[in-house]
């Protein structure tokens, strides 16, 4: 039986992968997440997902590699072509959310799965529409603690969901892991969910 490892400790990714019915373990991949010079947002998230998956796969014993698939993923928020990372403080959070206020931005989520024969990957793009935000709303949102460790300074699955008027694309990808694409990718590498046929 093939073993699945999620190269992440993100509670959101763990919850989404569990939602699909998979049994898996998790390991954190320690990689440098600094964007490269002139690297596009799409190339950036794809590189990080691949690096996370490779980092965990490469430290597995050779015998274990034969029966293991490692899944890596990364998500970034893009506004006007710029990557919005996690805010360092309230001032950064205000800047980010004021940029997103009353406008549309993109969320790129990449997935990469590796076994002993190949690595496959995909980037899922979703458009997210925000209502206009007041400065007081942004400050009160910061005080909840939710934006502190979130790309783009918001969580669609949490309190920040009330800012989103609509999305065009995959909701689960914005949360952190695109369910459809992940299940299809894992099936390609022999990891079958409980409802898929052997």
CATH code (residue 162): 3.90.950.10
pLDDT, tens digit only, all 198 positions of the chain? 789 999 998 899 999 999 999 999 999 988 988 888 889 999 999 999 999 999 999 999 999 999 999 999 999 999 999 999 899 999 999 999 999 999 999 999 999 999 999 999 999 999 999 999 999 999 999 999 999 989 999 999 999 999 999 999 999 999 999 999 999 999 999 998 888 765
- Domain limits for position 162: 3-188
- Is 193 inside a domain boundary? no
Measure the CA dihedral 123/126/132/137, to 10°.
-60
- Is 15 inside a domain boundary? yes
Q: What is the pLDDT of residue 198?
A: 57
- Is 86 inside a domain boundary? yes
- Pick from 134, 94, 122, 104: nearest CA to 179: 122
- Is 75 inside a domain boundary? yes
Number of domains the chain contains: 1
What is the C-alpha to C-alpha distance for residues 86 and 94, in angstroms, rounded to an integer? 12
Catalytically annotated residues: 74
Q: Coil, helix or strand for 157? A: coil
Please tell me the pTM assigned to this model: 0.93
């Amino acid at each position: 039986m093939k073993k699945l490892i999620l190269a992440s400790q993100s509670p959101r990714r763990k919850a989404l992968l569990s939602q699909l019915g998979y049994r898996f373990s998790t390991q954190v991949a320690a990689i440098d997440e600094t964007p490269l010079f002139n690297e596009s947002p799409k190339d950036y998230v794809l590189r990080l997902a691949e690096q996370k998956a490779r980092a965990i796969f490469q430290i597995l014993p050779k015998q274990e590699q034969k029966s293991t698939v490692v899944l890596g993923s990364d998500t970034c928020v893009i506004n006007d072509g710029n990557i919005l990372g996690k805010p360092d403080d309230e001032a950064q959070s205000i800047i980010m959310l004021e940029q997103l206020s009353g406008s549309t931005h993109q969320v790129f989520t990449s997935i990469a799965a590796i076994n002993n024969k190949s690595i496959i990957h995909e980037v899922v793009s979703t458009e997210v529409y925000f209502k206009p935000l007041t400065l007081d709303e942004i400050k009160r949102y910061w005080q909840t603690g939710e934006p502190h460790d979130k790309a783009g300074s918001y969580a669609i699955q949490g309190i920040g969901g009330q800012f989103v008027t609509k999305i065009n694309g995959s909701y689960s990808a914005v949360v952190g892991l695109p369910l459809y694409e992940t299940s299809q990718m894992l099936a390609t590498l022999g990891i079958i969910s409980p409802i898929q046929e052997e």
